[in-house]
Amino acid sequence: MFTLLLGAAFLFKYGADNDWFGPGARVAMGLAAAAIAGLAAGVSVVRNRNVSLEELAVAALGRNPNQLKFRSGEAPAVRAWIKSGTGLDVPLPSQLSPAVHLVGATLVSSKVPTAEVSYRVGDMDVTLAVSKADPGADSKHTFVRAGSYHGANFTTWSMRGQMYTLAAADTRVGCLLCHNGGAPPRL
């Protein structure tokens, strides 16, 4: 890519030196080059920004199940696949409520190892995004934040050195993912 741009710059310089382009064409090409450089810089900034776990989880809700990198309804298989790809040990219960269907998982290319686990609870899509927590994070089950983003709700907590974000239209269904009988009494 760099070689192509360098070649185009030399061609422009050579053409300008040999009067291939008039003054109006030179100005137009200079403006076009500046616009392309600005667009490339903007795309680079957007692609390289840190995306929050909440943004990842909400974005995953719109993913077609066929886009998952690993499709399985078997919790041990999904857990092993995530661990082999990220080193994350995601505690997925092998016994789920009858209303909960494990769909599969995908790994996210990120600076921090991250996995997204997709579920179907009744007629609702649910995503559980998991990543490494800061090294100083508490190992206890600790609520971090809750809110909404692009029309979906999320709840984030930390536990055992990992961050978890659950995203769904109604995050209360998330308790069914880990607790067969719904929310534990102390929540």
3-state secondary structure of 127: strand
User: To the nearest whole percent, how much of the chain has pLDDT over 70?
Assistant: 86
With a CB cutoff of 8 Å and minimum separation 6, the contacts of 16 are 26
Residues 15, 29: Cα–Cα separation, whole Å? 12
pTM over 0.75: no
Residues 106, 153: Cα–Cα separation, whole Å? 20
pLDDT of residue 52: 82
Per-residue pLDDT of 110-142, as tens digits, reads 778 899 999 998 889 999 999 988 776 666 778
Q: How many whole angstroms from its chain centre is CA 98? A: 28
Residues 2, 64: Cα–Cα separation, whole Å? 36
Kindly state the average pLDDT of the residues 157-166.
Answer: 89
| Mean pLDDT for the chain overall | 82
Tell me: pLDDT of 160 over 70.
Answer: yes
Residues 121, 104: Cα–Cα separation, whole Å? 13
Tell me: pLDDT of 105 over 90.
Answer: yes
Lookup: tokens for 168: 């769904």
CA angle (168 as vertex; 162, 172 as ends), nearest 5: 80
- Going by pLDDT thresholds of 50, 70 and 90, the confidence category of residue 30 is confident
Tell me: pLDDT of 158 over 60.
Answer: yes
C-alpha torsion 53→59→110→52, nearest 10: -30
